[in-house]
Structure 1
């Protein structure tokens, strides 16, 4: 019975953990080429909308950590999903760019305030001190598989509704197809909200002690000043910058390799399916070594792959070489996704303070939500060529270098614990 309960809990955490971000992120990451043309907006305007998401999200991370330490995760997760799905109906109307910006600001609150720290805390509790890599690897890998499957279904819709290659696709046709995709995703988020409320097991008595939790500002500020927390925040920051960059993989295929909308979408979906492979495999490996040690080669792979793309080393070579570089970038990125919360256990932070710690490190770690899409949009412009993409990847290479240094610093800081 206990084993079945743990399997059910992890399954629902996985589904909820990705369903919450389907509308604000996965939709844009996988279907950006279609969205740009249906909404008649540029990468820069998309970046502005997502920057507003980032601003409201950063504030929500901080306060959400305290909420997660006080109230039951089941209720917090379900309410967040319900509110986010309501925003899906708003997007279904293909609003103006101004309204889209308001929607993304709302999503910054609905997807984070009651949700994120609760999800991380529940995942930490699901495992034990010896299998945190597997716990978070399963969470992120499962989320990746779910997101990729949703994206693949959406790509199938594109193939079904769009005419054959070579025939002109009207603006009305693109809008209609996108509305089918948005409507389907919105329905899925509503269903997941209901399932979490009804099926996710209620918390154990020892977890209920969180109701008696009283936030202590002194302890919170003492956490902020610790080197291990600062380095941890930087690791998440650099890893998340890498994750945000995966949003350009599909547009790169369309703009540089001259892929069609459908081909670019399927390429983006293929990249998504690398996420469960990388996150779960690396999580399993990390538990046999130490998660923070595995983060070091993950950043090293990112440095190498982004430098190859940035300096155009394979520009004159067959496409499959550049294709391989993107695969390595994705593997490095998704490995980090599966590990950067698994190292919480190495910090020796009490379980009762998990939400507070997650809130603090997330404020810094997820600030790329504010600027990364905006940065990418302005770097690429309205009609990007291979030159603009090279400038983007060259500049980005700085990020994993900082991440590698932060990982080394984190290892040194926890060696004294």
Structure 2
């Protein structure tokens, strides 16, 4: 196995810790299954729990609000707490939330469950994973490390999604009961989360994570807040997460507006998970070779072009294949972009010892879209039924992608100026040194 990893460029610290990174990735792949599975079964979920599109959006808002608060403190905790404890508690808490979801809950009860998931899937879990991956890889292999981390997450998520689809179809067809079928899906994801928490308890070793933090401290928070690189990454993360949440609305657009079958839409949903793998891994190799900023600029250009073409595609069955191809293309480049956003911390020289704190702030910025994107989309679609509602939302999404493109231009200029400033500092230091020689 080690020889194969070396052949594909996985060596050094990354090669030594590759297995641990995959375990972290698989944990991340299942922990988000419960809070977001409702999008894969959008129509069935609404009918099962008697909800409106706006109420579906409120769930996303609840996750976002609790996520913002959680990430603010969770990033600091990630710099000084056991990674194993963070992962185990987060996975177990998410699984317990799934079991609570099986109770006969109304809208308010469901809000409480989503609030629990808003804490259990965020807080220190994601910042701890981000920091661990950075620490467990060399500086020149950050792209590959995060690429395989995101890719393995998507593989795990895709396999889990396929199993969930099989369970739902079995319950819906054999039992002729969509409500029961939905409960099978929830029970499956709850069981997988609890099972992964047990695996993490015995497999993840803190000593192999090489984390530098020894205790929880807010000392690094001020330093991170003063770093302009972190703020630029936060804004890029904001744009990325707006798009990440918006991906789910392509499928109802293809089925409800263009007239594709539900099965076709479900396969697009599965491909969303499998198709992203190539973008994650290929993006990792390309970022290590050509630089993160250059790759992300290309990704935003392709995403923007694809979104404009999608808006120009005529509505009707003739546009189904065109939109599906555009969806896949945009998806691949988005996941190149999404995975590489974390390598911006290394490119921007964010101190390693404060990686968790920085990741917490970046995740907090990424959680902000949770508070309004889903409810905004649901409200627009409810207020403007049919094609117009989706088009209005896609106009908004196009503007966000354009903003991300501008931010990467700013990032490239920041890196250029930072190198110039460092060069001037080094020249001045040499001149001062000559006075004593």
In the other structure, the counterpart of 2:365 is: 364
In the other structure, the counterpart of 2:124 is: 114
Alignment of 1:338-357 (within 5 A): 338-357=339-358
The reply to whether residue 77 of structure 1 matches residue 95 of structure 2 is: no
Distance in 1 (CA, whole Å) between partners of 2:122 and 2:310 is 33
In the other structure, the counterpart of 1:233 is: 234
Larger radius of gyration: 2
TM-score w.r.t. the length of structure 1 is 0.91
Structure 1 residue 193: deviation in Å? 0.5
The 4+ residue runs of structure 1 with deviation greater than 6 A are 1-4
C-alpha contact 1:33 1:261 (8 A) present in aligned 2: no
State the Cα deviation string for residues 197-252 of structure 1 (Å, max 9, x = none): 11112225953x41156431xx5334324332221111111111111111113322
Distance in 1 (CA, whole Å) between partners of 2:59 and 2:209 is 42
Distance in 2 (CA, whole Å) between partners of 1:39 and 1:224 is 42
Bigger relative CO (Cα 8 Å, ≥ 6 apart): 1
Q: Structure 1 stretch 315-324 or stretch 282-291: which is displaced more?
A: 315-324
C-alpha contact 1:72 1:203 (8 A) present in aligned 2: no
Within the candidate set 145, 159, 181, 2:169 is matched to 159
Structure 1 residue 128: deviation in Å? 1.1
Distance in 1 (CA, whole Å) between partners of 2:354 and 2:35 is 29
Call closer, same or farther: CA 1:3–1:295 in 2, change over 3 Å.
Answer: closer
TM-score w.r.t. the length of structure 2 is 0.87
Structure 1 residue 311: deviation in Å? 4.1
In the other structure, the counterpart of 1:58 is: 68
The reply to whether residue 36 of structure 1 matches residue 39 of structure 2 is: no
Alignment of 1:244-323 (within 5 A): 244-313=245-314, 317-323=318-324
Distance in 1 (CA, whole Å) between partners of 2:273 and 2:410 is 30
C-alpha RMSD over aligned residues? 2.2
C-alpha contact 2:230 2:362 (8 A) present in aligned 1: yes
C-alpha contact 2:230 2:350 (8 A) present in aligned 1: no
Structure 1 residue 157: deviation in Å? 2.6
Call closer, same or farther: CA 1:100–1:205 in 2, change over 3 Å.
Answer: closer
Distance in 2 (CA, whole Å) between partners of 1:368 and 1:193 is 28
Query: Where does structure 2 lack aligned partners over 5 or more consecutive residues?
Result: 3-12, 420-437
Distance in 2 (CA, whole Å) between partners of 1:5 and 1:195 is 20
Structure 1 residue 329: deviation in Å? 2.1
In the other structure, the counterpart of 2:10 is: none
State the Cα deviation string for residues 135-181 of structure 1 (Å, max 9, x = none): 111111111111111111222233333349xxxx96xx111111111
Structure 1 residue 356: deviation in Å? 1.1
C-alpha contact 1:155 1:266 (8 A) present in aligned 2: no
Distance in 1 (CA, whole Å) between partners of 2:314 and 2:396 is 15
In the other structure, the counterpart of 1:175 is: 179
Query: Where does structure 1 lack aligned partners over 5 or more consecutive residues?
Result: none
Q: What is the DSSP-based 3-state SS (H/G/I as helix, E as strand, rest coil) of the residue aligned with 1:348?
A: coil
Equivalent pairs counted in the alignment come to 407
C-alpha contact 2:78 2:128 (8 A) present in aligned 1: yes
The reply to whether residue 6 of structure 1 matches residue 17 of structure 2 is: yes
C-alpha contact 2:78 2:127 (8 A) present in aligned 1: yes
Call closer, same or farther: CA 1:388–1:368 in 2, change over 3 Å.
Answer: same
In the other structure, the counterpart of 2:430 is: none
Structure 1 residue 77: deviation in Å? 0.8
Call closer, same or farther: CA 1:257–1:68 in 2, change over 3 Å.
Answer: same
Alignment of 1:197-236 (within 5 A): 197-204=201-208, 207=211, 209-212=212-215, 214-216=217-219, 219-236=220-237
Within the candidate set 23, 28, 31, 1:20 is matched to 31
